[in-house]
Structure 1
Amino acid sequence: MCSYPSKSLNSIASKSYDYIIVGGGTAGCVLADRLSTHGVNSVLLIERGPVVDSWASRVPLISSNFQDAKSPAYTFNSVPLPGLGGRSLALVGGKALGGTSKLNGLIYSRSVPGEYNAWESDGRVGWGWKHVERVFEKSENCLSFGGSPGRGTHGPWQNQTIEEIHFKPVQLNVDAASSMGIPQSKSNDPDASVLGWSLLDATIDQQKHRCSTDTAFLPKSIVSRRKNLSVSTGAIVTSLDIEPVTAETDILRVVGLHLEDDSDSKKRYHVSCVKEVILCAGAIGTSQLLLLSGVGPQEHLTTLGIPVLKHLPGVGAHLQDHISVPILFKVPITDSIELLMGKPITAIKEFLKYLFLNGKGILGQQVQHANIILRSNLLDDHGQVRKHIDRSELDSHLAHNIPDIEVMFLPVNPTDRKFDGLAKAYGAFSYLCTVLKPKSFGSLRLASSDPRQQPLCDLGTLSDPEDFLPLRKALRLALLLSEKLRNTGYPLQDLSVPHDQSDAILDSFAKENAMSTYHYSSTCRMDTEDRFGVVDDELRVHGVAGLRIADASVFPQIPACHLQAPVVMVAERCAEFLLKSE
């Protein structure tokens, strides 16, 4: 098997390209494919991480274990967070071609139409549901619901719903949800209500392999065939090369990039750009690079001795993440993913099933099989579904009806906490209670002018007290579900559970147990410059010509979903903006 046709830095150095894409992650692979399709433009894609194409990287369940030392991930800690009593949270991001789509939970979720209608009503021209629905369809090959409204069947990016539920507590919870007045909803149905539980779409292909964006959009066959496309891995972009358009004006333009070999800081390179540079390095990497290049808040850059080329205070100013709090229970080990570690014979059987029965068994599915997503005002203060709900309150197309809580059913311990006997005497089941539309936000700032040093990330978790309101409802709903399971006789035992359901106890439990959902966004928001925006409605960076951003950093607010599908949509839109201008 031939190796991936990645080009060395020596081979691209001192050359000129029409388009240069910084970051070969979830968005960058999409953009590289779309911009190079017709062979007209020369395109360079630069990724800091390696090409990862091992057998394990293709197995859905195994590749989702980013805590494995071999996982292609950046791992570091946030700054101490005042909202959590000074605790820091572990942060994770993908470091490989394909980025986070190589190691995430595989969930394909778009959010509801009201999400994008809210963007449009807030002034984001061309970003309403009527504009973005076809863009979601364009990239998608939906294997389960291809004939359904709004679902694509001709795109390269495959997803499907695994119908069989392997773990008993997950099945019991979806049964319990139905009994509590929470109906089943089809995942990503644009006309579904904002109250429901779903079996989730996952980016798993027909062979039951992880369908990351490098696999879908930039396979070896495409990169080898397109002479106008160059992919270079193992390269770190240290700064953008930005110059005045003329000596008489303060108008700026990106003309190239400064690079280093990721493994050797002494080897430095430069590449030139003819048309545009597009940043796809994610909410953390993109804002870090802008700051290193002198684009950002003047006072911060001056403190670090970085020359200010463009005072743009919105860079890094609105870092958001979904707020998640896990409630954990002991379950029989055979009812959790920990059986792969605690039951060697069962683990071997699962490997054989996956290998010889077309991806059958637990290895061929995602960790999170089902969830509940709803609008918290549809629950009373005890976590019960309200008795009287007007039909208009369930309309997912309305901008004020965006779901704001999710309860994930996870047959595993999702935290980094160690428990005696876990994976030996018992397994874990958790309700991951999540605030999808947090009011809290933080910021990203540089720790130094060294591009190899991780930036200072303040997620702002629970810094806004309003976030406790939906979080309490999510926690109470999860606790009601757990009681339903116990009432069936299922042996659910407390592992990490609130002592009672008073506001004070739930809030304290949240502060002690909140974790990152690894959904970083909104550090370079799409908005006007006077409202701390960084890009305009066509993703162009304010005040710097020849520079756009296409990743999770441009979301005006964090979407109420897992982020990979909206990120791919943004990359598709960016490609359209660029190609229409030619």
Structure 2
Amino acid sequence: MTPSLPTLPLSQLGGPGKGQFKYDFIIVGGGTAGCVLASRLSLLPGSPTVLLLERGGSDRGWMSSTPLMSTSWQMDEKKCSSIPTVPQQGLDGRVCDMLGGKILGGASTFNSSLYTRGLPSEFNIWASQFDLPSWSFSKLLPYFISSQNHRPNSSPIADLLPPSNTASAYTGADGPWATTNPSVFTYPSSKHFVVARAGFGEGLKIGLGALVHKLDLDHDGTCKGVWFSEDGKPESTLLHASCCQETILTSGTVFSTQLLLLSGIGPKAELEELHITCLVDLPDVGRGLADHLSVYLPYTVPITDSLDRLENSPLHAIKQIASFALFRTGDFTFQGSQTAIMISSTHIPEILSEHSPYSKERPLWTSSLAEEEVPNLEILPLPFRFHSSMDDGKPDGKTPDLRKGKYNKSVGYLSPISILVRPKSTGTIKLKSKDPREIPACDPGFLTDPADLPVLIQGLRLAAKVVDGMIAGGYDVKPIEKNNPFAFGKECSDDELKAYVKKWAVPAYHMSSTLRMSGQENDGVVDGCLRVKGCKGLRVADASVFPTILAVHTQAPVVVVAEKCATMIGEEWSKASH
């Protein structure tokens, strides 16, 4: 039986004055990383006291443990923070939605359970270029292994890929890479680490609905605790919790950055413009914001081959619900996509050439892969409508809401998505005001680097090539004429595809790198031990510390950051205890 979470009312976790409530460790943000850290730190020898503060609530209902249904939380404002960008000039001035988790477990509760490790060379680039030897792949591999459980792929979906020379481009050195799609899923979020797999110690206390206003910093940058209140109630009393050892920020890229800035840690000139006293002048706070950018191609397929059948056929949906409830099998075990193509765009022209079959196989799982060989594109074939305006409507850059829009319910949909996973474009996060309730100005700078748009165009051409191979093999798949630039074999110019990307591209919700890690003295925000530079007793452990954005879905490396952070803190705790 899953143990009850040790949650308490906020009034029992903090007081109006300093020193009334003391903890060894305070963790701000109960998302992917925060849950892992809460578990690990509370289980340290000596039973340290750990306070975990989460702005959202907790949901342990059936939807949270049903892979297919948990993604619907992306449209639930109670569980997900919608973070609008500033108008993106690279996307014709559109405002896009970026998402952050607002629930215990964070974005891991709705990220489709896509858990990808990444290539060794990416982490070795971190180690070499940013003077972070302890973050090389060989040093991180034990953390990856400790949190994974690989099972053979039981899905036939990959068999639909064309049996042609183009398929060899989608293999590793020893053939296609296997992915895990077990018939029975474990809990699909980081809450799993707290309440099931790892457990938690007696000293852990969790406060839900807590809005942290700022850190309590001494004049020398020592973090002594946090000030917080009940979210959604501006009149609620400001409470204080004191920290005896360390405070760790795990609120995600946007909100960890915001909290440092509100606390007076960041670019001095920007803080003083908002009349915030700068306690630690760190120019790189909020710089380097990066996110993956995605764009899809709409096709129709037989309704029996699409997850849209669940919505269009009540009888089929009932059967699948019963299959999942009784046997943990069927459509509701689907986690988003069971097949992915990871590729460097430098190889795509050769693949697309009819007279030059691509037959080279490269051992991609190697630590010596050249930087230009690291995949900068991911192709995900999704067997459902990706966007409400797939048949009709106009793009708005908002979170795709499949409950809206006009579409043909007699057919199924296939949505191969091309994702730019190594963007060169970066941007910033800046405060709009001193109010912690106001979402900061987020500018990912999509397509501001001229190198990015051609890569996405190559991705669209490759995705269309894959579907063409399915058509050539006799599969009944048709492009949607209205919104697919490749409709009915149409030859597309680069200019046409540029316009298509600017009109339809949306964020992939993998923000990172605004509090980036660096071992160099005058660079970055945190050091190799994740300690905020110029501060004491303060660390950050989420995707914001990535030196550069990784070509992966970010959950796995975020878990590793949290695990490594817990190890480093645990080692210091053990030394201090003896």
TM-score, with length taken from structure 2: 0.88
Distance 2:461 2:545 in 1: 33
Deviation at 1:419, TM superposition (A): 2.9
User: Counterpart in 2 of 1:536?
Assistant: 527
- Would the alpha carbon gap of residues 91 and 301 (structure 1) be closer, same or farther in structure 2, given more than 3 Å must change? same
- Which one of 59, 64, 70 corresponds to residue 71 of structure 2? 64
Query: For residue 432 of structure 1, what is the aligned residue in structure 2?
Result: 417
Superposed CA offset, 1:118-167 (max 9, x none): 11111212111110001111233x141xxxxxxxxxxxxxxxx54223x5
Q: Contact between 1:197 and 1:371, CA under 8 Å: does it hold in 2?
A: no
- Aligned residue type for 2:445: G
Summarize deviations over 1:43-67 as a string: whole Å, max 9, x none.
Answer: 1111111111011111000111234
Aligned to 1:156: none
1:370 aligns with 2:339: yes
Match of 2:315 among 307, 323, 345: 345
- Residues 236-255 of structure 1: CA distance to partner in whole angstroms, max 9, x if unpaired? 111001112xxxxxx31110
Contact 1:381–1:473 (CA under 8 A) maintained in structure 2: no
1:286 partnered with 2:265: no
Hey, what's the Cα distance between the residues in 2 that align with 1:236 and 1:488?
55
Q: Cα deviations across residues 284-331 of structure 1 (Å, max 9, x unaligned)?
A: 110011111111112221222211111111111111111211111122
The answer (yes or no) to whether the contact 2:124–2:136 under 8 Å persists in 1 is yes
Q: Which amino acid aligns with 1:243?
A: D
Does residue 31 (structure 1) correspond to residue 37 (structure 2)? The answer is yes
Within 2, Cα distance between the matches of 1:441 and 1:54? 38
Cα offset, 1:443, TM superposition = 0.9
Residue 55 of structure 1 corresponds to 62
Q: Distance in 2 between matches of 1:388 and 1:57?
A: 42
| 8 Å contact kept, 2:169–2:359 | no
> Which moves more between the two structures, 318-327 or 387-396?
387-396
For residues 522-567 of structure 1, give each alpha carbon's deviation from its aligned partner in whole angstroms, at most 9, with x where no partner exists.
1100125776511011111110111111000000111111100000
Cα distance change on mapping 1:445 and 1:304 into 2, 3 Å: same
What is the identity, as a one-letter code, of the residue corresponding to 1:439? Answer: K
Partner of residue 275, structure 2:
305
* Structure 1 residues without counterparts, runs of 5 or longer: 145-160, 186-191, 245-250
1:203-245 CA distance string (max 9 Å, x none): x7x742443111233349945xx3211111111111001112x
Q: Which amino acid aligns with 1:458?
A: D
Counterpart pick for 1:498 among 470, 473, 485: 485
Q: Which residue number corresponds to residue 9 of structure 2?
A: 8
1:578 to 1:221, Cα distance in 2 relative to 1, 3 A: closer
Aligned 8 A contact 2:169 2:358 in 1: no
What TM-score results when the alignment is normalised by the length of structure 1?
0.88
Deviation at 1:416, TM superposition (A): 4.4
Matched, 1:445 2:424: no
From 385, 404, 418, the counterpart of 2:376: 404
1:97-496, aligned counterparts within 5 Å? Answer: 97-122=104-129, 123-140=131-148, 142-144=149-151, 162-165=153-156, 171-173=159-161, 175-176=162-163, 179-185=166-172, 198-201=177-180, 207-219=184-196, 222-223=199-200, 226-244=201-219, 251-266=220-235, 267-356=237-326, 358-380=327-349, 383-384=352-353, 394=364, 396-398=366-368, 399-400=370-371, 401-417=373-389, 419=391, 422=407, 424-495=409-480, 496=483
Q: State the alpha-carbon separation in 1 of the partners of residues 100 and 257 from structure 2.
A: 14
User: One-letter code of the match for 1:132?
Assistant: L
Match of residue 511 from structure 1: 502
Shift in alpha-carbon separation, 1:430–1:177, aligned structure 2, 3 A: farther
SS of 1:271's equivalent in the other structure is strand
SS at match of 2:168: coil
Shift of 1:512: 1.0
Query: Displacement of 1:391 after TM fit?
Result: 6.7
Deviation track 1:423-461 (CA, whole Å, cap 9, x = no partner) reads 622222111101111101111111221111111111111
Match of 2:517 in 1: 526
Structure-2 separation of matches of 1:38 and 1:393: 40
Per the alignment, residue 23 of structure 2 pairs with 17
- 2:283 maps to a residue whose letter is P
Please point out which of 526, 536, 540 is paired with 1:545. Answer: 536
What is the DSSP-based 3-state SS (H/G/I as helix, E as strand, rest coil) of the residue aligned with 1:75? strand
Aligned to 1:153: none
Q: How many residues align?
A: 542
**Helix, strand or coil: the match of 1:501?**
coil
Contact 2:351 2:358 in 1 (8 A): no
SS at match of 2:226: strand
Change beyond 3 A, Cα 1:176–1:509: farther
Aligned 8 A contact 1:422 1:428 in 2? no
SS of the aligned residue for 1:465 comes to coil
Quote how far apart the aligned CAs of 1:343 are: 1.0
Contact 1:526 1:555 in 2 (8 A): yes
Segment drifting more, 375-384 vs 89-98: 375-384
Letter in 2 for 1:281: S
Specify the code of the residue in structure 2 equivalent to 1:292.
L
Q: RMSD value over aligned CA atoms?
A: 2.4
Q: Bigger CA drift: 386-395 or 252-261?
A: 386-395
Measure, in 2, the Cα distance between the counterparts of 1:342 and 1:110. 35
> SS at 2:228's partner residue?
strand
Structure 2 contact 168–360 (Cα < 8 Å) conserved: no
Give, in angstroms, the shift of residue 39 of structure 1. Answer: 4.6
CA distance in 1, matches of 2:389, 2:97: 12
Q: Secondary structure at the match of 2:234?
A: strand
SS of 1:504's equivalent? helix
- Give the CA deviation at 1:108: 1.2
Q: 1:162 to 1:179 in 2, by over 3 A?
A: same
